[in-house]
Copies of this chain bind each other. A is one copy, B any other.
Amino acid sequence: MSSLFTHTQTQPNQVTLVEVGLRDGIQREATFVPTATKLAFIQGFVVAGVKEIQVTSFVNPKIVPQMADAEAVCAALPKAEGVSYSALVLNLKGLDRAAAAGLRKVDMGLPASETLARKNANTSIEAGMIEMAHMVERARAHGMKTRAGVQAAFGCAFEGKIPIAKVVTLAQQFLALGIDELSLSDSAGLGNPYLIRDILREVLPMAGDVPVVLHLHDTRGQGLANVLAAIEAGVRMFDTSLGGLGGCPFILSAKGNIPTEDTAFMLHEMGLETGIDMAKIAALSRDMEHVLGKELPAKMHKLV
């Protein structure tokens, strides 16, 4: 038993929570959140101590109407030292839009499932990786930071279990593109702590100095246990969403990112730091419940 958890003396104490509530969080909400409201939340996140915010995605507004104001949001982002803004892009067109909107960082990805690759982007994984290479190159030409990685890395809603070797190979291909951050996404909430551990054991040494960020959903209640497994493995960066908002429009069961406030609270209690003010983030979460007119699945926003 004594060999467990011992790494904590040597790993950094600081954990970055990337706020994705305004991107993954609300992308399939029927209620359009007005641009000014989105910007007020972004300002709120900055004041609450959030260090990175995914502010929108540059996608087809006919498919994701919630993101129709991507340019308008980016045009009015509050200036905030030490805060990084990013957006999701799906293709070169979206990437160019993000660059034109003045963003300095983009997020992109490719599923480890052929079925999802076909459904999401009508492509194969192999063809998708060639597109990713073009996008990373273009982003670099725009002078943007690139975050890229493997979606459905811990299981697929259609294909079920994904061989670890497939995920590792894709991660290696992404790293070979010279990306700035590598993401592993559990879009369907199918990951379990031991699977997270096993994949990270392969991927973290490969990634070396390139930070690995985990994008977890709490679909099956394992979200924070998976955070713990990743923390133990050495990961120090997670996507979280205010109140546990979230879901993928293409995967019905993929509801609920891990909640920012619950994740921050657990990490703080464990002696790790996120820089996030619990009272302020909880208040924002309650505000979002008013905006959307529904209760959010997080727990801590009701307790602080």
Docked-complex contact A3 and B6, CB < 8 angstroms: yes
Given contacts A1-B204, A5-B194, A221-B300, 5 further A-B contacts (CB under 8 A): A1-B233, A8-B194, A220-B265, A221-B298, A228-B228
CA distance A227 to B222 in the complex (A): 10
Interface residue total, chain A, C-beta cutoff 8 A = 41
Docked-complex contact B204 and A299, CB < 8 angstroms: no
CA distance A204 to B253 in the complex (A): 39
Docked-complex contact A194 and B225, CB < 8 angstroms: no
A259 to chain B, nearest CB (A): 7
CA distance A6 to B2 in the complex (A): 11
Stretch touching chain B among A63-71, A95-103, A266-274? A266-274
Docked-complex contact A197 and B266, CB < 8 angstroms: no
- Residue numbers of A with Cβ under 8 A of B are 1-8, 192-195, 197, 200-201, 204, 218-222, 224-225, 227-229, 232-234, 253, 259, 262, 265-266, 269-271, 298-300, 303
Asked whether A193 and B266 contact (CB < 8 A) given A219-B299, A221-B259, the answer is: yes
Asked whether A194 and B1 contact (CB < 8 A) given A221-B265, A266-B221, A303-B220, the answer is: no
Asked whether A266 and B3 contact (CB < 8 A) given A218-B299, A220-B299, the answer is: no
CA distance A298 to B220 in the complex (A): 8
Enumerate chain B residues within 8 angstroms of A259, measured Cβ to Cβ. Answer: 221
| CB-contact partner of A271 in B194, B201, B228, B270, under 8 A | B194
Docked-complex contact B232 and A5, CB < 8 angstroms: yes
CA distance A192 to B266 in the complex (A): 6
CA distance A302 to B8 in the complex (A): 36
Q: Would you give 17 A-B contacts (Cβ < 8 Å), ordered by A? A: A4-B5, A4-B233, A5-B194, A5-B229, A5-B232, A192-B266, A192-B269, A193-B270, A195-B269, A218-B299, A220-B265, A221-B224, A221-B266, A221-B298, A224-B224, A225-B225, A225-B227
Enumerate chain B residues within 8 angstroms of A8, measured Cβ to Cβ. Answer: 194
A154 to chain B, nearest CB (A): 10
Docked-complex contact A4 and B2, CB < 8 angstroms: no
